[in-house]
Amino acid sequence: MVAAVLGAVVTLSACKTDVAGTKDAYADDEPAGTLYNTGLAYMNAGKMRDAVTSFNEVDRQHPYSEWARKALIMSSYASYQSGKFDDAIQTANRYLTLYPGTEDAAYAQYLIAQSDYKRIPDVTRDQKSTEQAMEGMREIVERYPESEYADDARRKVIQTRDQLAGKEMQIGRYYLERREYIAAVNRFKVVVTKYQDTRHVEEALYRLVEADLAMGLVSEAQTAGSVLGHNFPDSEWYQRAYKRLGASGVVPTEDADSWITRAFGTS
């Protein structure tokens, strides 16, 4: 049966006239403007999937035309609006490959970053999308600093960094509760060294006091408390650290050779 079907296909193919490269090849094409405006009409009606289809037809039937360039960015936007973030990213990346120097290149990059940003999960889950969103937003800030998307991108770089720091804290607390102190310290260390500008750094320093005291590393605990007090003297976490150290018979004291001191440059 399969052989018969294949034979039929071959026969039909043999009888078909090749029109590639001729005027007849484009006989059924619709005008680019018509397809583009149809896509816009679908968008206005909230029919994003139909809009994507129309915009993609512009690109398929009239490749490399000005209409195709406009349709490509609109297709990415329509996919983004309909929650098809992978499609939005793929189309926007294609736009950047074909038209890297155009006025809409910044917007294409923004659609990529926004698509990842919209998929940022709860802090308890894998943060791959958060990392991709952060890198995408950084790309906008670095490559298109004067664009209308740059300010929003800067804010979202801060937000994504805070999310990633929060993930490290969540894991660090988990290890701390299980008394796996070295693993906990390693997570808090990431926050202190890599995400120092986030709201989580104060707690990270306090948790280092806890973990180091539990391991008998009193000098390190004192340094963490001292750095916490030096940089965040009004912090609730510093008050807690001071009491915690006091309960162990010591006070915050900074060791100039500690990695914590070097991380904050307070020596």
Q: How many domains does the chain have?
A: 1
pLDDT at 58 over 90: yes
pLDDT band at 25 (very low <50, low <70, confident <90, very high): very low
d(CA 166, CA 132): 16
* Residue 95, number of CB atoms within 10 A of its CB: 25
**Per residue in 136-153, pLDDT tens?**
999 999 999 999 999 999
Residue-wise pLDDT tens digits, 70-97: 999 999 999 999 999 999 999 999 999 9
The answer to the question of residue 41 being in a domain is no
Residue 213: which CATH number? 1.25.40.10
Rounded alpha-carbon distances, angstroms, from residue 12 to 2, 16, 27: 15, 6, 21
Determine the structural domain holding residue 206 and report its residue range.
Answer: 164-264
Flag whether 208 is in a domain.
Answer: yes
Residue 71: predicted pLDDT: 97
Residue 216 resides in a domain: yes
Q: Is residue 237 part of a domain?
A: yes
Q: What mean pLDDT comes out for the span 252-263? A: 95
Q: Confirm whether 68 is domain-assigned.
A: no
Asked if the structure places residue 249 within a domain, the reply is yes
CA distance 67 to 137: 28
Supply φ then ψ for residue 223, to 5 degrees: -65, -45
199 in a structural domain: yes
Asked if residue 19 has pLDDT above 70, the reply is: no
Domain-embedded: residue 233:
yes
